[in-house]
Structure 1
Amino acid sequence: MTNLKISGTHFTMNNNPIQLVSGAIHYFRIVPEYWRDRLVKLKACGFNTVETYVAWNIHEPEEGSFCFEGMADLVRFIETAAEVGLYVIVRPSPYICAEWEFGGLPAWLLRYPDLRLRCLDPLFLTKVDAYYDVLIPKLTPLLSTNGGPVIALQIENEYGSYGNDNLYLEHLRQGMISRGIDVLLFTSDGASDSCLQGGTLPDVFATVNFGTDPEGSFRKLKEYRPNEPLMCAELWNGGFDHWMKPHSTRDTEEVVEICEQIWGAGASVNFYMFHGGTNFGFYNGANHGAGAEAVYEPTVTSYDYDCPISESGEVTPKYHAVRNVLAKFMDIGDCQLPEPIPTQSYGAIRVTEKVSLMESLGTLSSPVVYPCPEPMEKLGQKYGFILYSTTVSGPRMGEELHLQEVHDRALVFLDGEFIGTVERWNPAPLKVDIPVGGAKLDILVENMGRINFGPYLKDYKGITEGVRLGYQYLFGWTIYPLPLDSLNSLKFKPIDKTGKSNEPNFYKATFEVETAADTFIRLDGWTKGNVWINGFHLGRYWNRGPQKTLYLPAPLLREGTNEIIIFELHSTDDFVIKLEDTADLGE
């Protein structure tokens, strides 16, 4: 039996002192075929532990329907870590943040209008308990007390940055214990009075998260826990990107200096992230601060994070720098890296077929009729797009069209003609002229990712309040949910080269592969949309950047013919995409 214990101000394992050197790797951001590669690289860097969040929304995508297969095979990931020789820290909090859609909470929770998140609300706790009834029994055989690699579990995640309901935290703690969790339990919070007061329990090990000033952060932690080991549960050694913002990086020398301070103090650490991975599909999150100037900021598809292992698994200069400084403090042996994963440029691929969204509505969606333009969640929809259609009487010249609380980005069409975009972060009204006899109004809204941190977690999608011309609300809507979870019904036709389209279209291309290798999709000349490869949803692209390429892992390719589908919301200058052998995450 291997059991992590607290002995005064130090950790011990089998009565021997141990300093935890951990790195965060999220199984749900990596294709399973690459889990071992990333874990071996973590071990080769000298680390002894891997940490992962557990994303509730991938394990219970529909209420009462559970998934622990493929990229959601948490047990296999933990078992692989054990085979590599790593301890495992699991963070199965209902909420994880992680720049992940809704902070890992399942979108179906928002179907319950009276439900309160992350507190002792009986309805919320009922949903958490039902999830834990399925999740926790999968973890208990993997605990170190049962001969497995899992040495610690987190109760909640940075709770002090959200609330102060200690009874809620105690409910989660007791829920883990009653289901058989008998390893070290802990909390992780910012190094401030409010966070450490609101997010901790007196008899639960407390850690702090930070990116700078280890000395000051640990000093604050010691004020509350003078007789416990010091641990940084999240050392932010890189950074993530928002659309329309510069690419985020973290200077390697700064990271090295902070590591020297942490390890020199004998503290334990978890690198957040050690390997970031990808926000595949619609699973990227978003941020929204609480200040007067704060706006909604959606996260990009790449979660490279500028950390020691790149999005595509390459060892970076930061990796070697971190390993070199770690070697000053402990014996980590030789660096035995696996063979690099090959990349390949498959060249330019011409798109040959397309079909418009509007003519595909009948096969992609089952419309419903409501007086008001209701949000996705009321219709049981989680992700994707939603189209609102109504008829407006005329003449009404020089009116202003207001979309009240559109979440998150809307394309507006009048009698089939695109007239403008309304964005959550720039909700200016559109000027419209309604002719004699009236006009058909269509509004296509994109859910760009639910907020994952802060006070605005309850983030409904679509048009969440109403649509009005001037002061007059418009009623009588036909609504088309468009989750785009299957595109098999699309009826593609050869592209008409006579003109450039300015409406949402699906485009299709095929290409041949003799040997599958990692590659990167570049969409120069395209505007904004989503990409699927052989039915797998890679994620979003946008020419506003910073991200310029989408990572396509080799296991998603097949020898022979491969199919790419692009859902372009606006237009493209050229019906060509490129598959290159290097990533471009922007500047």
Structure 2
Amino acid sequence: MPHLQIDDGGFTLDGEPFRLLSGGLHYFRVHPEQWADRLRKARLMGLNTIETYVPWNLHQPRPGRFRLDGGLDLPRFIELAAAEGLHVLLRPGPYICAEWEGGGLPSWLLGEPGIQLRSRDPRFLDAVDDYFVRLFTPLQHCLASRGGPVLAVQVENEYGAYGDDTAYLEHLAGSLRSCGVDVPLFTCDQPADLERGALPGVLATANFGSRSAQGLATLRARQPKGPLMCAEFWIGWFDRWGTHHVVRDPDQAARELDELLATGASVNFYMFHGGTNFGFTNGANDKHTYRPTVTSYDYDAPLDEAGDPTPKYTAFRDVIAKYASVPDGPVPSPGPRLAPRTVALTASAGLLASADALGTAVDARRPLTMEELEQDFGFVLYETKLPLKGPALLEVEQVRDRAQVFVDGQPVGVLERESHEHALSFVVPRAGSTLSVLVENQGRVNYGQGIHDRKGLLGKVLLDGAEPAEWTSRPLPLTELCSLGFEVATAAPVGPTFHRGTFEVADPADTFLHLDGWTKGNAWVNGFALGRYWSRGPQRSLYVPAPVLRAGTNEIVVLELHAAHRGRTVQFRATADLGPTEE
């Protein structure tokens, strides 16, 4: 593979002038059996490079455990890119933002009281250094200096929007170099943050989605010589629960791209293909009000969530063809779809009644956080005894993020972080009743100072002004559901309930799960966690990748936290419904 060099005139590749035409494609948001398809479509649009973040929290779920298998087989993803003739830009963090849970920082870091993330806190730097060693030791052959496709590696991510400690960035760059990363390094920041986030001796790049000439002029003022590059050209945006589905006009985005490429600058589309926040992996924002991101990461990108070309694909390919060679041939056709069907979910298992099979309770004098329970995702079930009969007041200092409250298994209310709710009154039917509080981690904050986002019930928890002396805290990560005892439901279940059904498939193909009439929860197909649904929208369907299905009998499990569809049926349809757009 050729080597990327940076000189006063710009990028060169083996001595020849080179322009990076790159697109974001996060391997961890795409089923691994679909990587090759998405990479081929990137080349056919005219891209010569693929960019990806690396989610530290998935690769190192615990300090002593590191994963590079299955959907986290980064070496294989990089090798598939090389086989397609694509170069790679690698963005390993340690912080990645990406609307990803915690910005990619492992939750176990927050098990350290007082730790300062993205800083020179020795506890953080020691963990980062260890992560880099574990990550780059098996990636040495992927670097361009050793014949691989990785042309350059990013240092941190938009650090100027968070801090201004150059020594912190210098440590990260030195750590990468000590791990054998001898390809060019670069930083990326929004134009207003370039001064704070740049690192002397390292290429600075800018992130923007419009006013390209203005953004590049700011970059040139900060960096008088060398290549100009937009490392995140925002061609769409992400969605949050309770708002509209964000789209951007293809023609307008194409005009902005044309303006950018006319300057001679390099570009990386954010995103070329967004994919999906499968399972519990979505992040959140908290700018005085907590706002979790939806499951779909469609991003209104050139490839939609199912990998099919959108109007932006054609519009961008036409613009790229003005500046570079684009492969001949038609735009790739949409993939096949599963025939629509309705599936009845005939068996059920109550979550509260199944708690013993889903997690082990830990006794303590106060509710323990997810981080103290060494838990990354999912729910925590807190329980204590109520000593007196009659009216009661529950007060919680901090709910992270959504608490459903039950007395003897009967729902009595909900406390939401998003709504700034901290207190709930209810009536206790008898002395010795059980108070159960089911708390959902709706996504750790991925941007700003709010990344120090511990989950569960935090601070003081009071009942009628006093702290209960005994609590149990039961982690419910819901990574394994085979221990659930499903039974045919004869009456409408009360409270959070798992519902199960089966359906037959002859030829597996992509499909979309629609849960019309359901309220809020999660869904799994054949044990694969599709993600969250919520009737508040905008998203109204969940993407089911074809490789998740199998010929023959398939299983679907839906955890409904409130009220299921009256007939307890779901539908598989050929099209997505990401919700209404803004007029």
Smaller-chain TM-score range? Answer: over 0.9
Residue 365 of structure 1 and its aligned partner are, at CA, apart by: 1.4
Q: Distance in 2 between matches of 1:508 and 1:302?
A: 23
1:101-500 to 2 correspondences below 5 Å: 101-192=101-192, 195-289=193-287, 294-335=288-329, 340-397=334-391, 399-428=392-421, 429-435=423-429, 437=431, 439-496=433-490, 498=491, 500=492
State yes or no: 1:555 paired with 2:553. Answer: no
Which structure 2 residue ranges, 5 or more long, are not aligned?
A: none
Residue 79 of structure 1 and its aligned partner are, at CA, apart by: 0.5
Contact 1:529–1:541 (Cα < 8 Å) also in 2: yes
1:533 to 525, 529, 536: 525
Residue 474 of structure 1 and its aligned partner are, at CA, apart by: 3.1
- Count of residues in correspondence between the two structures: 578
Contact 2:309–2:332 (Cα < 8 Å) also in 1: no
For residues 360-397 of structure 1, the C-alpha deviation after alignment (integer angstroms, 9 at most, x for no partner) is: 11111111111111211111111100111111222453
Q: Distance in 2 between matches of 1:152 and 1:308?
A: 24
Q: Which amino acid aligns with 2:542?
A: L
SS in 2 for 1:373: coil
Q: Which amino acid aligns with 1:40?
A: R
Residue 141 of structure 1 and its aligned partner are, at CA, apart by: 0.9
State yes or no: 1:512 paired with 2:504. Answer: yes
Q: Which amino acid aligns with 2:405?
A: V
For residues 491-511 of structure 1, the C-alpha deviation after alignment (integer angstroms, 9 at most, x for no partner) is: 110111x3x333011111011
Residue 437 of structure 1 and its aligned partner are, at CA, apart by: 2.7
Q: Counterpart in 1 of 2:90?
A: 90
For residues 284-316 of structure 1, the C-alpha deviation after alignment (integer angstroms, 9 at most, x for no partner) is: 111112xxxx21111111000001000000100
SS in 2 for 1:42: helix
Contact 1:40–1:338 (Cα < 8 Å) also in 2: no
For residues 105-155 of structure 1, the C-alpha deviation after alignment (integer angstroms, 9 at most, x for no partner) is: 111111111322111111111111111111112222111111111100001
SS in 2 for 1:555: helix
Q: Which amino acid aligns with 1:367?
A: A
SS in 2 for 1:81: helix
SS in 2 for 1:524: coil
For residues 386-414 of structure 1, the C-alpha deviation after alignment (integer angstroms, 9 at most, x for no partner) is: 111111222453x4322221000011112
Q: Distance in 1 between matches of 2:238 and 2:448?
A: 17
CA shift in 2, pair 1:306/1:370, >3 Å: same
Residue 435 of structure 1 and its aligned partner are, at CA, apart by: 4.7
Q: Which amino acid aligns with 1:507?
A: H
CA shift in 2, pair 1:453/1:559, >3 Å: same
Contact 1:160–1:196 (Cα < 8 Å) also in 2: yes
Q: Distance in 1 between matches of 2:230 and 2:201?
A: 18
Contact 1:516–1:559 (Cα < 8 Å) also in 2: yes
Q: TM-score, normalised by structure 2?
A: 0.97
Q: Which amino acid aligns with 2:241?
A: W
SS in 2 for 1:387: strand
Which structure 1 residue ranges, 5 or more long, are not aligned?
A: none
SS in 1 for 2:219: helix
Q: Distance in 2 between matches of 1:413 and 1:9?
A: 66
State yes or no: 1:578 paired with 2:571. Answer: yes
Q: Distance in 2 between matches of 1:77 and 1:318?
A: 25
Residue 330 of structure 1 and its aligned partner are, at CA, apart by: 2.3
Contact 2:298–2:305 (Cα < 8 Å) also in 1: yes
The farther-off stretch of 196-205 and 298-307 is 196-205
SS in 2 for 1:489: coil
SS in 1 for 2:200: coil
For residues 457-504 of structure 1, the C-alpha deviation after alignment (integer angstroms, 9 at most, x for no partner) is: 0101110113223533333112211111111110110111x3x33301
For residues 511-565 of structure 1, the C-alpha deviation after alignment (integer angstroms, 9 at most, x for no partner) is: 1111101010000111111111111111111111111110001100111111111
Residue 213 of structure 1 and its aligned partner are, at CA, apart by: 1.3
Q: Counterpart in 2 of 1:44?
A: 44
The farther-off stretch of 313-322 and 435-444 is 435-444
Q: Distance in 2 between matches of 1:518 and 1:558?
A: 11
Q: Which amino acid aligns with 1:226?
A: P
Q: Counterpart in 1 of 2:561?
A: 569
Q: Distance in 2 between matches of 1:436 and 1:113?
A: 39
SS in 1 for 2:258: helix
Residue 436 of structure 1 and its aligned partner are, at CA, apart by: 5.6
Q: Distance in 2 between matches of 1:301 and 1:418?
A: 26
CA shift in 2, pair 1:115/1:335, >3 Å: farther
Contact 2:350–2:493 (Cα < 8 Å) also in 1: no
SS in 1 for 2:538: coil
Contact 1:525–1:574 (Cα < 8 Å) also in 2: no
Q: Distance in 2 between matches of 1:264 and 1:335?
A: 25
Contact 2:401–2:455 (Cα < 8 Å) also in 1: yes
Contact 1:372–1:476 (Cα < 8 Å) also in 2: yes
For residues 421-460 of structure 1, the C-alpha deviation after alignment (integer angstroms, 9 at most, x for no partner) is: 1100113322223356353211100001100111110101
Q: Distance in 2 between matches of 1:140 and 1:435?
A: 64
Contact 1:45–1:335 (Cα < 8 Å) also in 2: no
Q: Distance in 2 between matches of 1:370 and 1:129?
A: 34
RMSD: 1.4
The farther-off stretch of 347-356 and 103-112 is 103-112
Q: Distance in 2 between matches of 1:121 and 1:541?
A: 38
Residue 336 of structure 1 and its aligned partner are, at CA, apart by: 5.5
Q: Distance in 2 between matches of 1:412 and 1:490?
A: 22
Q: TM-score, normalised by structure 1?
A: 0.96
The farther-off stretch of 385-394 and 94-103 is 385-394
CA shift in 2, pair 1:244/1:502, >3 Å: farther
For residues 217-269 of structure 1, the C-alpha deviation after alignment (integer angstroms, 9 at most, x for no partner) is: 11111121011211000011001111111111112122112101110000001
Q: Which amino acid aligns with 1:341?
A: G
Q: Which amino acid aligns with 2:411?
A: F
SS in 1 for 2:155: strand
Q: Distance in 1 between matches of 2:579 and 2:524?
A: 22
Q: Counterpart in 2 of 1:70?
A: 70
Contact 1:526–1:574 (Cα < 8 Å) also in 2: no
Q: Which amino acid aligns with 2:110?
A: L
Q: Distance in 2 between matches of 1:145 and 1:437?
A: 71
Q: Distance in 2 between matches of 1:435 and 1:84?
A: 66
